[in-house]
């Protein structure tokens, strides 16, 4: 990344509002935007976990306590950011967690908690920021999705459901707000060296009948923790590059694994569409 600040490159610093800034992508991105000379409203459930982010950039960072499942608090956090910086240029909905277990293995509490954070948390913050972006007639919403938002794996049915929901919502939202100068980008990472496979992963209570299907996934995630190929700092740089592009992508796949997996999934869907085209086409009135 260039050592020049945004001001040096002829533009005013952007203001980023980032959820889940204590670890992983959220922390890497917050550190990267500050290093680039931008401003950040960094949020987390535990404000002590992000207190160090302000060191050396005290006028360009505001740390804010935020549990994204609290709709009222989301509005308050956005107001705090606007009071501090006067605007919000980029929202990054990063807060979320993983959940591994077959559909039947999951408890009702686990299922609902996953949706409350990964879907309704995204909705809470997005809806809180949109009035500000509309007033500005500008802004960029970055939704941290996943390769799991394109292809579901066994043991990840509900996690994938939350990411598929964010993908559909964001694709529609992008069309609703483009005329207002607001852009939307879905980021679809593969395995990156964050806490996702470790501290941020929740596991269901196993049922023996699913062991041969789900146990390999459990073992895979436990083994990959700390050895993933993806570098969060390089992911942060890629996101900043996409946000700065005059024609940003709706979807940005990160990492070779994501690119290979998503391409294979889309090609497979096209083959299936072609195979069943005659049957599907034959259901229209003639």
Query: What positions carry a catalytic annotation?
Result: 145, 159, 163
Name residue, tokens 């908690």. Answer: 113
The Cβ of residue 212 has, within 10 Å, a number of other Cβ atoms equal to: 9
Q: What are phi and psi of 101, to 5 degrees?
A: 165, 150
User: Pseudo-torsion of CA 194, 196, 200, 201, nearest 10°?
Assistant: -150
Which of left, alpha, beta for 67 (phi over 0: left; psi -120 to 50: alpha)? Answer: beta
DSSP class per residue in 79-138: HHHHHHHS---EEEE----EEES-GGGS-HHHHHHHHIIIIIHHHHHHHHHHHHHHHHT-
Three-state DSSP at 61 gives strand
């Amino acid at each position: 990344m260039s050592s020049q600040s945004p001001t040096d490159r002829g533009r005013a610093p952007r203001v980023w509002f980032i959820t889940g800034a204590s670890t992983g992508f959220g922390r890497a991105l917050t550190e990267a935007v500050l290093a680039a000379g931008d401003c950040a409203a960094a949020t987390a459930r535990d404000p002590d976990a992000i207190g160090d982010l302000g060191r050396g950039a005290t006028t360009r960072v505001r740390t804010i306590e935020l549990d994204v499942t609290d709709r009222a608090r989301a509005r308050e956090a956005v107001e705090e950011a606007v009071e501090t910086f006067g605007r919000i240029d980029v929202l990054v909905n990063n807060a979320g967690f993983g959940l591994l277990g077959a559909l039947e293995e999951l408890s009702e509490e686990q299922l609902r908690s996953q949706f409350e954070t990964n879907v309704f948390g995204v909705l809470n913050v997005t809806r809180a920021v949109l009035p500000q972006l509309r007033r500005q007639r500008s802004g960029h919403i970055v939704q941290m999705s996943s390769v799991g938002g394109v292809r579901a794996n066994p043991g990840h049915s509900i996690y994938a459901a939350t990411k598929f929901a964010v993908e559909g919502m964001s694709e529609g939202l992008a069309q609703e707000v483009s005329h207002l100068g607001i852009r939307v980008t879905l980021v679809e990472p593969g395995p990156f060296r964050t806490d996702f496979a470790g501290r941020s992963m929740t596991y269901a209570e196993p049922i023996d009948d699913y062991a041969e299907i789900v146990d390999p996934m459990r073992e895979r995630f436990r083994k990959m923790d700390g050895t993933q190929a993806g570098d969060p700092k390089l992911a942060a740089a890629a996101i900043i590059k996409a946000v700065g592009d005059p024609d940003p992508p709706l979807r940005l796949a990160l990492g070779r694994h994501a690119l290979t997996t998503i391409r294979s999934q889309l090609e497979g869907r096209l083959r299936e569409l072609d195979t069943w085209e005659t049957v599907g086409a034959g259901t229209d009135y003639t």
